[in-house]
Amino acid sequence: ETGVTQTPRHLVMGMTNKKSLKCEQHLGHNAMYWYKQSAKKPLELMFVYNFKEQTENNSVPSRFSPECPNSSHLFLHLHTLQPEDSALYLCASSQDGSSGDTQYFGPGTRLTVL
């Protein structure tokens, strides 16, 4: 399998549930990203990991908790979410996070919080 994969593709959860989103990249990249895409809003960068170290946390609420165990895998752990957290969550990777570096996106996880 090539590129950036995300699982699950769709997720419905209640506000008291705990779930995790998974992202895997097969491109040999060293930087990975989580974005949130809501209707009628620009893509919002949530977290950046570079060489497994978190280098960006864009004021994301603590109910979202990222984990990057190695350069190929990135998780987003979710707990006690709110209905307004319903969105498409996109993972991306790039070679090393430098300016001009192309980011490659996964297909996203469509999250619905009831």
Partner 1 sequence: GNSVTQMEGPVTLSEEAFLTINCTYTATGYPSLFWYVQYPGEGLQLLLKATKADDKGSNKGFEATYRKETTSFHLEKGSVQVSDSAVYFCALSAQGGSEKLVFGKGTKLTVNP
Interface positions with partner 1 (CB under 8 A): 4, 6, 31, 33, 40-43, 45, 48, 50, 55-56, 90, 92, 94, 97-108
> Could you give the C-alpha distances from 85 to 31, 37, 48, 81, 93, in angstroms and in order?
24, 10, 19, 6, 22
Distance (Å, whole) CA 86 – CA 3: 25
Choice between 18 and 58, CB closer to partner 1: 58
Provide, rounded to whole angstroms, the least separation between the CB of residue 109 and partner 1: 10
Provide, rounded to whole angstroms, the least separation between the CB of residue 32 and partner 1: 10
